[in-house]
Amino acid sequence: MLASCNQAFAWCMYFGCKWMLATREFQDASEDKMLLQLELATLVSLLAFFAIWVLDKLADLDATGDEVDHAIIQVIGGFSILVGFAWEQCFDRAIEVIAADQQRYNLVPPMITKLVLAAACICIIIPAWRKWILPMVLREGWRFGFVIDGSDARWRKVFKSKRWHWLMHRYGIQTVGFKKPSMKEAAMKREKNPGHAFQKRRNEKGLFKILQRERILQIGCDEENMLSPNARTGNRPTLMYGNGGLASPLLQKNHPELGAVKEAISALKKQLQQLSEEERCDATHYRQQMGSLSEEIAKLSTWTAELGLGL
């Protein structure tokens, strides 16, 4: 039903605009149908672009509910059909004009001219459609704006990195169609270059080095400065290594984003103090509050590590 209404809307709008344009601009030039189709397609495209822009702004508003958003999307689909139909008629009329001219001047049958033009369009459009549009539809690349292609050398380099596997494991994403290097291949690489593995681990930078060697992250900061009213002017927290007495700062004190981290930690500490000071609180509610605060602290620590390490 919705598809039929969209088709009817597109046809009515198309022929209404054509009637208006023909009666106003082409009363004395009835034979110039190609120019009429070209101006009609341009006019319809401009009107549809403006209407879709307005409807998209309305759909983004919080005042519109799900039903209204669904109706707006259907109307946008009708405008897309209208634009496509207008340009299809324009190209169809252009092919007819070219075929008529070839028959008049070069004595080429119109069917041969139309067949050659159709073959040329297929040779130009099909490769681009197969390379760019079809993968977007099949792999749902339109959701993210790009398509992961395993045959591309750049993506193969990404798939082989340890950071990629760590991120996939962390967010619970399974990589389909990609196999990890076998233990036999890794052993052969180590035999060819025994010092390569050690040098690679030594030069490794980022979060993996911390997780593999130190295993502990802690936020070193001055608690008195954080709890004081003038916390913004105090020392900002610094993310440190937490094993073996190593104290190499990962987040510098002049980092622009650490003010928000400090404020969040202060708010969490105040909530913990408030919960600890309540004497007559329900045990179940207390455990739930403590659990939620622990999750927030864990997320904040992870975000701080990613911020400083550029993950």
- How do residues 181-239 score in pLDDT, each as one tens digit? 556 666 666 666 555 444 444 444 444 444 443 333 333 333 334 444 444 444 433 33
Which among 37, 47, 162 is positioned nearest to 95, based on CA atoms?
37
pLDDT of 67 reads 86
pLDDT, position 291: 66
Lowest mean pLDDT among 27-31, 109-113, 190-194, 253-257: 253-257
Which of 104-118, 187-201, 232-246, 265-279 shows the highest mean pLDDT?
Answer: 104-118
Q: Does residue 256 have a pLDDT over 70?
A: no
Site of tokens 């104290």: 247
More confident residue, 51 or 242: 51
* pLDDT tier at 134, thresholds 50, 70, 90: confident
> Using 50, 70 and 90 to split pLDDT, how confident is the model at 70?
confident
CB < 8 Å & 24+ apart, contacts of 6-10: 6/74, 6/77, 6/78, 6/81, 7/81, 9/75, 9/78, 9/81, 9/82, 10/78, 10/79, 10/81, 10/82, 10/85
- pLDDT category at 9 given cuts 50, 70, 90 is confident
Percent of the chain at pLDDT > 90 equals 17
Tell me, what DSSP letter sits at residue 213? I
Task: Tell me the per-residue pLDDT of 144-161, one tens digit each, with 9 for 90 and over.
Answer: 666 666 666 776 777 677
* C-alpha–C-alpha distance, residues 75 and 51, integer Å: 10
CA distance 253 to 262: 11
Residues forming a β-bridge with 219: 239
**What is the chain's Cα-based Rg?**
32
Q: With a cut of 90, say whether residue 271 has pLDDT above it.
A: no
CA atoms of 95 and 117, how far apart (whole Å) = 8
| Predicted local distance difference test score (pLDDT) of residue 52 | 93
| Choice between 28 and 16, residue whose per-residue pLDDT is larger | 16
pLDDT of residue 216: 37
Average pLDDT in the 20-38 region?
Answer: 78
56-60: average pLDDT: 89
pLDDT at residue 15 in the model: 92
For residues 308 and 311, give the distance between their C-alpha atoms in angstroms, rounded to a whole number.
8
Q: What are the extents of the domains in the chain? A: 2-108, 211-309
| pLDDT computed for residue 117 by the predictor | 92
The residue with greater pLDDT, 118 or 289, is 118
Name the residue with higher pLDDT: 24 or 158. Answer: 24
